[in-house]
Structure 1
């Protein structure tokens, strides 16, 4: 059959595109990279696996979990072989007990999935999901009543339409003393356009984009997405540190809560992954350097405590951490005090830093890689709504990249650079949610204010 000319031309163009040589960034990009973001249907605004926290009695009480503080009424955290669960723990409810969030999650919700099952040999029970959008003042039931009858976890899915903050309450409504287990609560928000780009709401920690296309899959251990209430991060299992951490900083985040100093391992990491301990940096000559700073989260004890998980830490040269970065962090909060809100992304890359004991590549018997460089990007906008729409070519963007050494200047302004330069060094796609024309301008500019 004779091929028409126009199809021949298309075939030539297709072959040319397939053979085009890819450009490799100076550092090898994380698995998945930014191209994977096209496959993400929504942003996860809450994730709770019950692996963090302990409660061994049914009496009503509050439990601090990975996502925040929850009220357990006639419920506990179960870790028995007869608890239906993934991992080591799940929640267990009896009678007409409930699990209720004591905090507001932000970023909205469109899909909520909850794992549920029967404890041991107990009979079936029913439960309901209730949601509050006014800080817990009132609740409305979402979806239909769910029946738990299997000893293995099943997944219940609820479709909702919440654009702002919310609280969840899971309420057992029948079955008497029969007990049920609840596990793996995931809330997703945002729809996708033709290109699959997520559309989270104002103040969302990932509003400006997912820099490395991180996903919450154990098949992606070098670029594992972890969604917290107070920040979101891409974790690298083999380095034992985050690749990057992203958060929103506004006036409501800054309060009077004391610094908790409760450094601790992150028990929400997938089963079998090494957990960096609070003592893993001891004697190394490096600080446990926060990515999302403690002082950026002083609205409550829970918020501040969330910053002390070791998945939020990097081995940072003491003077670099306590002087250079401390000064930059303080400056970021001063911008908020002046009437702005700030979207922040911080990360590190490379291998080998110089602490108080000299230069090393790893610590903690090789479990934790010491980065060579530490960077941060701050996008500053006046307080308001429709944040993405208000970021223009004139928006102030501060990009800083310092060596991880003990002799950096206390003046962070000496290390200002462009977002483009950080992207070139890391292979990430920062600020990817912004229009291309805006990115092109603000990512090339070096701040001089």
Structure 2
């Protein structure tokens, strides 16, 4: 990176406009505020990558000063544009001409995102003590507003002064898209977003992700950073564009991300990253638990609703893929990660592929996995069922999985080529299945046609069309 000498560029403005309406979070409210100037007096040139509709990222809120995290702005409240601070899950942030929006016109995952206008900003009031490797930001236009632009900014002196980082980003879409800045910073640093142009046009910012070399691996049981760091659990895209819709409800946990179907009482899909940094020596906790992170009005399934049904509480993200800490293993036992699975499906082909993917990790690879269920009606040890628990839980017709395999490394999206390995299977949810998962190999295209989802959407189309249409012959070698 190189520092460019530019003139001092203060963000100083005073806006006096009429307040319309009584709801301080309504789009028509344009309150008079006195802006706090932000001195931006330098610029760093870094690699900036732009991805369409990349999807949200995993949350890791432990040891935030050194480990990475994703801030989804869900835990804070700031209904006005006026300058002020807000406590969030990642720490304290400073906002100016920006608020936390909750309206239907705010583009967001979950219930909240930043809404910013004029030349406002939102900056961290805490440092990443050991620097950062990558900063990713999701952005979109608010409502029907026009185009705007913004910059990533950084401070190396505890917020006294700020510098631009990377290129100017133009916000021209109402879909949340992702920009990735390869900052490779080793100094103590804090980051923020500064709106650069567009005037009253508002933008939404959501899921700002800080990736470090210590995003949670190692310690308490293994991992040891052998895999080169934990990546986003949903780096290659959000297959169903999951959001706050009850039957396509996005949930993100440190161990995986998923789309929950409230009508079915099961996930539509679960997405996770697997490398050596996720694998340790912790055993299976066998601690199935209701997921109270779902809204209280939702269909919150308990483990008891599977009892006596003839179906297993089938993990989508396997517990054996999360064994570094006891907590990480326990979190795979949320019922939002389960679907009714025929016992022989679970213990024969399904577990066979799970074990095979871990052997690929042992051989120096990392794997990006999306898995889920489709259809209605399966045959367990007690015969055919369409639903369990008086219709609260849908029994799927099949279990499917798609996996992208790469040698350990960084910048995974940019490393995918037409030779990259893709594995896809679709296994009937019944007792009469083969023990050999290879008997159920199909293509990613076939799973997309079955589900209507778009997997690995961040891969360039010319590469995606090749790898998703190819049967994986290497599994038979």
TM-score normalised by structure 2 residue count: 0.59
In 1, the alpha carbon distance for the partners of 2:439 and 2:89 equals 51
- Give the conservation status (yes or no) of the 8 Å contact 1:42–1:188: no
* Consecutive unaligned residues in structure 1, runs of 5 or more: 1-36, 47-66, 70-99, 118-125, 133-140, 146-154, 168-186
Alignment pair present for 1:143 and 2:123: no
**CA deviation after TM superposition for structure 1 residue 222, in Å:** 1.1
Matched with 1:115 is 76
Once residues 342 and 315 of structure 2 are traced to their aligned partners in structure 1, the CA distance between those partners, rounded to angstroms, is 12
Is residue 309 of structure 2 the alignment partner of residue 309 of structure 1?
Answer: no
Q: Which residue in the other structure is 2:178 paired with?
A: 198
- Give ranges in structure 2 of 5+ residues lacking alignment: 1-50, 79-84, 97-111, 115-120, 141-170, 181-210, 212-229
Alignment pair present for 1:224 and 2:249: yes
Q: Which residue of 1 aligns with 2:299?
A: 274
Relative distance call for 1:398 and 1:128 in structure 2 (3 A) is closer
What is the root-mean-square deviation of aligned Cα atoms in Å? 3.4
Q: Distance in 1 between matches of 2:302 and 2:279?
A: 28
Q: Is the 8 A contact 2:369 2:403 kept in 1?
A: yes
Q: How does 1:67-78 map to 2 (within 5 A)?
A: none
- Describe the superposition over 1:102-123 as per-residue Cα deviations: whole angstroms up to 9, x where unpaired: 99454x55x6454359xxxxxx
The one of 290, 293, 310 equivalent to 2:318 is 293
Structure 1 length-normalised TM: 0.63
| 1: CA distance, partners of 2:419 / 2:428 | 29
3-state DSSP of counterpart to 1:321: helix
Larger RCO, structures 1/2 (Cα 8 Å, 6+ apart): 1
1:364 to 389, 413, 428: 389
Task: Tell me the distance in 2 between the aligned counterparts of 1:44 and 1:344.
Answer: 14
Q: Which residue matches 2:236?
A: 208
Distance 2:113 2:419 in 1: 46
Q: Secondary structure at the match of 2:465?
A: helix
C-alpha displacement of 1:189: 3.7
Could you say which residue in structure 1 is the equivalent of 2:376?
351
Change (3 A) 1:370 1:256: same
Listed one character per residue, the Cα deviations across residues 348-391 of structure 1 (whole Å, up to 9, x for unaligned) are 10000010001110011110000001100010000001100001
Shift of 1:436: 0.5
C-alpha change, 1:113 and 1:357, in structure 2 (3 Å) is: closer
CA contact 1:112–1:188 (8 Å) conserved in 2: no
- Quote how far apart the aligned CAs of 1:273 are: 1.2
For residues 191 and 310 of structure 1, do their structure 2 counterparts lie closer, same or farther at Cα, with a shift above 3 Å needed? same
The residue aligned with 2:443 is: 418
* Matches for 1:22-41 after TM superposition, within 5 Å: none
Compared with structure 1, are the counterparts of its residues 265 and 130 closer, same or farther at alpha carbon in structure 2 (3 Å cutoff)?
closer
Matched, 1:43 2:56: yes
Residue pair 2:275, 2:367 contacting (<8 A) in 1 also: yes
